[in-house]
Structure 1
Amino acid sequence: MSDAPAQSRRLPWIVAGDLNGFFGLVVDNLSILGFIAAALVGIFQFPAEVVFGRMFPGTALGVLVGNLVYTVMARCLALRSGRDDVTAMPLGLDAPTSIGMALLVLGPAYAGFLRQGMASDAAALATWRLGMASLVVMGLLKLVMSFAGDWVTRVLPRAALLGSIGGAALALLGFLPLVETLRNPVVGIATLGLLLYVLVGRGRLPWKVPGVFAAFVAGTALYYGLGLAGLGVPGFRLPELQPPALVLPLPNAGFIAGLPYTVPYLPLLLPFGLLMVVGGINVAESARAAGDDYRTRDVLLAEAVSTLVAGVCGGVAQTTPYIGQPAYKHMGARHGYTLLAGLFIGLGGILGYVSMLVQWLPVAVLAPIIVYVGLDITVQAFHDSPRRHAPAVALAFLPAIAYLLVIKLGNPAWIPAQTFAALYEGADGHGLPELAAIVTLGNGFIITAMLWSPARVALVGQRPRRAAAVLLLAALLTLVGVIHSVDPRGGIYLPWSLEGVRAIIAWQFAAGYAVLALLLGLLSLQRVAPMPQA
């Protein structure tokens, strides 16, 4: 690190580590775009030309705008602090809410429009406008909430911020992509092993080839080489390519026409936006723990603006700062990687080559980099929190595991909708239905973890009244579905609108928090003996 004044130093735009960071960030975004396309086209038979020609260009533009802003923020921080090891915040498409948008909003909406008698093209156009409007709604919510980010950072302990995001990293960025990796073992294990060799073991490659790039090339070569040779690659097939086309994602009024369509989906869209605000606060704290002190408000504002730009210009998946900033720092990335990745994804959406890559790159090659990022963030959650708060960090992981089960058990290909509903509302004589408990624990998992951790930290610090206050807040949020939503889709509601088993579940969870808060409040009235003097 140089001690020269910031004004007199020459700060390079790109360093060698930026190449690894570039490939990692690009692959993160390509994998999520690939899932959106697979879900809409493969599951709901959505017209591919609308996905690749209308949805992807605007979505990619949001990634470009956000990464350019984060690049400028990192460069300014480096110049201001006189440090040359500042790493930019990585920005991309959010995995959980992109999955939710595809499976819970866009796909069902398209099917609903078809049932209403719309032609396929008209239904696809209406669904696209719904997606645009949804992003604008979530972007406006994030814009307003961004000004509370610094306050939340001051109020919540680090164990709450890092623990909640660490659970998401382990369950959603670690386990789920690992499953996809192992569905094609030869390709997936080889790619993951090479990534661990270069990123964890700091192993060398010939001719100083970037390790992430080498792993992707090797994995892709294995997939197509073994597949074309007929040597048993599970599920191998050549993609049916959509020809690339030049599409300028210009602002248009389609989102205005889509606003009325968003009304039935607001109970889902508002939590989606709120989760991104909470996640943005967490990743800002994660970067701060890694040594890069970005202002939380600025991180959230950049995220909100990029989401709004994407929505107005045709995008359907919201952007978010990724939780892997420390992992990219360990790769040696600085601020050039966000510049390169933003330009690559943004121009790729305009020129069409991103759509081509999404169709050509196998999932078993894309998934391992996400596994690595998930592991790195999980380690940081423990490493950068006080040792006595480790149980609070571990406790924050559990709601994310429940959400992982919700994703898998909620798949209609595994459990038919009627069977799921019967299991969700059926009693077995041993308390609430087990599936209902899992779903209720998983819904709103990040916010749940952020409440559990400070309550646990308060107990460690002998502050039962503070823990009781947190638990009372959890009870109120439970009643409206912000956490522990009894709607299997995770929607919010008014408590008096619930009926049957769902009403019982909601009131039971809320009462549990309230009773524990009462007990802690009573215990706090005890007279505490003074500590003996040394």
Structure 2
Amino acid sequence: MQTASRRWLASGDLNGFLGLVVDNLSIMAFLSMALIHIFGFPADIVFLRMFPGTALGVLLGNIAYTVMARRLARRTGREDVTAMPLGLDAPTSIGMALLVLGPAFLSFKQSGMDPHAAAVATWQLGMASLVVMGVLKTVLSFFGAMVQRHVPRAGLLGSIAGIALVLMGFLPLVEILKVPVVGFAGLGIVLYALVARGRLPFGLPGVLVAFVVAALLYFLLGPLGLLGNGYHVPPAWEWRFALPLPTLEWTHGLAYTLPYLPLILPFGLLMVVGGINVTESARAAGDDYSTRDILLVEALATLVAGFCGGVAQTTPYIGQPSYKAMGARSGYTLLTGLVIGLGGIFGYVSNIVELVPLSVLAPILVFVAIGITVQAFEATPMRYAAAVVFSFFPAIARMVTIKLSDPTYVAPDHFVALFNDNTRGISELAVIAVLGNGFIITSMIWASFVVALIDGRVARAAGIVLLGAVLTVFGLIHSVDLAGGVYLPWQLSAGAQSMVWQFVGAYVALAAVLFLLSLQRDKPSGVGHTS
């Protein structure tokens, strides 16, 4: 018992620390890369205003989880208690960059703001989004079980798997293949060590080996001209000191959050359900943490990060049993929190993500994307697999819209013209964009009504579809606003209203068909079987 309370580090904590740090660095690298290189965001706003507060959330959350692990060890007299790993949530952090912050920055500039003012407004929006998610998670932490009961697991996991597959899987894979000699080697090691469970020399962790090998290839082959245009001379090391002090800047961003609520609120909801799942996973591995305490810690870490300038939410990671198998105990979370948190304050995290190309860090994101997608099928009964797959389509539409609306591919005026071309019904581009807007909620609706059909609850399926119709009216899903904003339909132009009512009519027609089918006395063969 004394040993359990005094021992801060175990031999396995180094492996856990390396894996958890690289996870967080990968996400911060993608966040900065997307904002700076895709959307042209000013780097100083990212590194001096967004990163310190974001990293502070990781610091505070990991310290709290370390304390919880040590208390559990003292209470049980066990030395093998493993702390819950906490870090930046990959799907929603990438979603914030690509779906909220980046598009908002472009929108602010198009409204006439100069780039710096637009960047500050975007930062305020990101802070406000985190505060909204933090409040939602704090409230739902007391009602997590109720949320789980009313939203099918296929809907929850399918919607987040859709984000994982196309945003944090496919897009980082593209980054890997921009420098294929480097990225593919790192990805192969990750797949060998973490997917195939292959053993690496001296028992080294796969994440560390993949990072080192890819970095060596990049910095050895690049200066020799063997990577083509994929190598860039690293920028000079620059100290960026910024304290993440509490500020009321987020209050200026609250008004900006309205168009993005269909994304922001589901992001928070997913973390609550995810927190419940990972706590159950840790409990099954032998560490009985309080679900409410796990949820409250990460909710408060998100809130504090938002108050102090952060733009990406924290979450307990699903891999607690994996860290336990590595031999990690409570020291790895403390070390990770200190390295990431202090790195955001003193600026060395921003220097690392500038120094190391995304092709080196991205393999871990692809692995996490694979893991989340696989989990959606493993944690859902096989009979609901079709519902999970069906829920992927809105996310695919959103990814296509992101690429098609990128000014490096399609001129903005041309994109808007194609979107509004309704000479032959709703244009193909408009269908893709409208399907992708509000895609997380759409995925939940679609998966939920298919689950109800599979269970033979056809009338319930009709009710879920009618809920989809109501949400469509106000743009919470299928928004006809290019930016995905919500609205009152009667305030739209005649053409936009026509599009809204066609999508609403589609849901109403489907609900009517399902309601009529529910009146049948004999169910079709196969419907309603739950085994």
TM range (shorter): 0.7 to 0.9
1:433 aligns to 2:431 (yes or no): no
Contact 1:158–1:285, Cα closer than 8 Å, also in 2: no
Which deviates further from its counterpart, 322-331 or 506-515?
322-331
Matching residue's letter, 2:223: L
Which deviates further from its counterpart, 395-404 or 222-231?
395-404
2:55, 2:360 → 1: CA distance? 21
How many pairs were matched up?
A: 516
Matching residue's letter, 2:305: A
Matching residue's letter, 2:465: L
Offset of 1:158 from its aligned partner?
Answer: 2.2
Percent identity between the two aligned chains: 52
Give 5+ residue unaligned stretches, structure 1: 1-6
Offset of 1:418 from its aligned partner?
Answer: 1.0
Give 5+ residue unaligned stretches, structure 2: 526-531
**CA spacing shift, 1:420–1:249, aligned 2, 3 Å:** same
Equivalent of 2:470, from 464, 469, 476?
Answer: 476
1:123, 1:518 → 2: CA distance? 46
Offset of 1:189 from its aligned partner?
Answer: 0.5
Matching residue's letter, 1:518: A
1:197 aligns to 2:197 (yes or no): no
Task: Give deviations 1:70-93, integer Å, cap 9, x for gaps.
Answer: 445566677778995766253305
For 1:13-412, what aligned pairs fall within 5 Å after superposition? 18-42=13-37, 46-72=41-67, 84=80, 88-93=84-89, 94-106=93-105, 108-109=107-108, 111=109, 115=112, 128-129=123-124, 131-241=126-236, 243-256=238-251, 259=252, 262-268=254-260, 270-284=261-275, 286-287=277-278, 290=281, 292=283, 298-321=293-316, 336-412=331-407
1:492 aligns to 2:486 (yes or no): yes
**CA spacing shift, 1:53–1:527, aligned 2, 3 Å:** closer
Contact 1:36–1:102, Cα closer than 8 Å, also in 2: no
Offset of 1:179 from its aligned partner?
Answer: 1.0
1:287, 1:213 → 2: CA distance? 24
**CA spacing shift, 1:241–1:496, aligned 2, 3 Å:** farther
Equivalent of 2:497, from 496, 503, 513?
Answer: 503
1:229, 1:88 → 2: CA distance? 43
1:33, 1:320 → 2: CA distance? 14
Matching residue's letter, 1:469: G
Task: Give deviations 1:46-103, integer Å, cap 9, x for gaps.
Answer: 5433432333212211222233334455666777789957662533052101333431
Matching residue's letter, 2:86: P
1:459 aligns to 2:453 (yes or no): yes
2:64, 2:306 → 1: CA distance? 17
Which deviates further from its counterpart, 492-501 or 294-303?
294-303
Which deviates further from its counterpart, 467-476 or 393-402?
393-402
Contact 2:445–2:465, Cα closer than 8 Å, also in 1: yes
**CA spacing shift, 1:504–1:282, aligned 2, 3 Å:** farther
Give the alignment's TM-score, normalised by structure 2: 0.86
Matching residue's letter, 1:102: L
Offset of 1:191 from its aligned partner?
Answer: 0.6
Matching residue's letter, 1:185: P
Task: Give deviations 1:139-188, integer Å, cap 9, x for gaps.
Answer: 33444454443211122232222222222222222211111111110000
**CA spacing shift, 1:255–1:278, aligned 2, 3 Å:** closer
Give the alignment's TM-score, normalised by structure 1: 0.85
Task: Give deviations 1:401-450, integer Å, cap 9, x for gaps.
Answer: 22221222221211111111122121352x42111111222222222222
Task: Give deviations 1:441-461, integer Å, cap 9, x for gaps.
Answer: 222222222222221121112
**CA spacing shift, 1:20–1:8, aligned 2, 3 Å:** closer
Contact 2:140–2:272, Cα closer than 8 Å, also in 1: no
2:106, 2:404 → 1: CA distance? 18
Contact 1:20–1:211, Cα closer than 8 Å, also in 2: no
1:507, 1:241 → 2: CA distance? 55
1:530, 1:98 → 2: CA distance? 45
1:409, 1:181 → 2: CA distance? 21
Question: Where does residue 439 of structure 2 map in the other structure?
Answer: 445
SS of 1:391's partner is helix
Question: Where does residue 529 of structure 2 map in the other structure?
Answer: none
2:326, 2:398 → 1: CA distance? 30
**CA spacing shift, 1:129–1:517, aligned 2, 3 Å:** closer
Task: Give deviations 1:227-263, integer Å, cap 9, x for gaps.
Answer: 112223433112333511433222234434xx1x542
2:46, 2:452 → 1: CA distance? 48
SS of 1:228's partner is coil
2:330, 2:155 → 1: CA distance? 28
Contact 2:176–2:183, Cα closer than 8 Å, also in 1: yes
